[in-house]
Amino acid sequence: MPVILPDPCTNKRYNAQSSYLKKRFGKKTVKISLNGGFTCPNIDGTKGAGGCIYCSSKGSGDFGGNPIKSISEQFGEVKEKLMNKWGSDLLCIPYFQANTNTYAPLERLKKLYSEALSQENVVGLAVSTRPDCITEETADYLAELSKQTYLTVELGLQTIHDETARLINRCHTYSDFLHGYEMLEKRGINVCVHIINGLPFETREMMLETARELGRLRPHAVKIHLLHIIRGTALAEMFERGEFAEMDMESYIETVCDQLELLHPETLIERLTGDGDKETLIAPLWSRDKKSVLNGIDKELRRRNTVQGIRN
C-alpha cells in the first residue's frame, strides 16, 4: 500500500525541521549555539549536585560559544564557522544551549535574549531548559517573545520513567515535566521535547512508551538523542564498571524508526541522533559516523514502507 511522504521534495519519511525552516523562511536557516553562563538546579545544590550523570562539564553545550565572551562575540564566531560550511547566505536562530537557560532572574534573561535577537539575519530564538525551571512570570515573557519571533522552548524530558530519571539525576519527575509543558502550551509557545535512547536499564519498550506519550502530547518538535558516554562523567564510571551496556547501532536505528511511527505526523523532527565530542567520547564509537546512522534510519523506513505518525 503506498504511503504519503511528509516531505516529497526530499523523500524523507519524517517531518524534518530543516525542510520546515527552509519553507517558512525561504532559505537555509541554521542554529547558532550560545552559552549564556547559566547553571542548573541539580548542579548548584538547589535540587541536587553533580548534574545529570551523562552531562559533560560544559552542560551539554560542547559545540556552543565561550561563556566568557559576550553573546554578540559568540554569535559572530559560531556563525562564521557555519558560513564556511554552508555559505554566507544564511538565516540564523540563536540557540541558548548549555545548561538551563531560564534558570536566572527575568531581567537577565531579557538582556541575553534581546542581545541575541538583535544580531544580523536572525529570524527566531531557541531556548533549552528544564521543565521545572519555568515560572509563570518567565512563561508570560516567553509568550510575548513568541508573538515577535519564531521562538522554540526546548524541554529536556529524556524519559517518562521516573525510576530512570532518578538514576540519571534529573531531579524532576514526569509530573514536573507535564506542569512545565502545559504552562508553555497554554500560552501558544512552540515546545521541542528532548528524549534519549539507550539510558541505563531502559528496555526498548520503555523507550517506545516515552515516544508513545509524546505522540499523545503532540509537541511542536522532538529531538531524539543517542546516549553518549563521555569521559569524566558519572555515567562513564558506571560504564567502565560494567554496570550497563551501550546501545548498538542496529537496535538504535530500529528503535528510532519505531518511535517515529508513534509520533504525531505534524511534529517536527529536529534531531535523530546526537553529536558527541570525539575527543572525550568513550562509547558508542559507531556514533561518530553520523551519516551512516541517518542513512540507516532512512533505509529502514523505506524497507518498512512506513512514515512518521503511521501508528499515532
- In which band, very low, low, confident or very high, does the pLDDT at 1 lie, cut at 50, 70 and 90? low
pTM comes to 0.95
Residue 272 belongs to a domain: yes
Contact call for residues 76 and 115 (beta carbons, < 8 A): no
Residue 287 belongs to a domain: yes
DSSP class of residue 287 equals G
User: Which of 10-14, 53-57, 127-131, 200-204 is predicted least confidently?
Assistant: 53-57
Q: What is the pLDDT of residue 8?
A: 64
Residue 24 belongs to a domain: yes
5 against 82, higher pLDDT: 82
Residue 8 belongs to a domain: no
Q: What is the pLDDT of residue 159?
A: 98
Residue 43 belongs to a domain: yes
Mean pLDDT rounded to a whole number for the chain:
94
- Domain limits at 86? 17-304
> Where is 107: in which H helix or E strand?
helix 106-117
Percentage above 70 pLDDT, the chain: 95
pLDDT (tens digit per residue) in 26-83: 999 999 999 999 999 999 999 989 999 998 765 454 566 789 999 999 999 999 999 9
Closest CA to 141 of 93, 101, 98: 101
pLDDT (tens digit per residue) in 150-201: 999 999 999 999 999 999 999 999 999 999 999 999 999 999 999 999 999 9
* Cα dihedral 92, 98, 101, 105 in deg (nearest 10): -120
Residue 12 belongs to a domain: no
Q: What is the pLDDT of residue 2?
A: 57
4 against 184, higher pLDDT: 184
Residue 189 belongs to a domain: yes
Number of compact structural domains in the chain: 1
- In which band, very low, low, confident or very high, does the pLDDT at 306 lie, cut at 50, 70 and 90? very high
Report the CATH number at residue 118: 3.20.20.70
With residues binned 3-state (H G I as helix, E B as strand, rest as coil), the percentages for the chain, rounded to 5, are: 40, 20, 45
Residue 3 belongs to a domain: no
pLDDT (tens digit per residue) in 132-156: 999 999 999 999 999 999 999 999 9
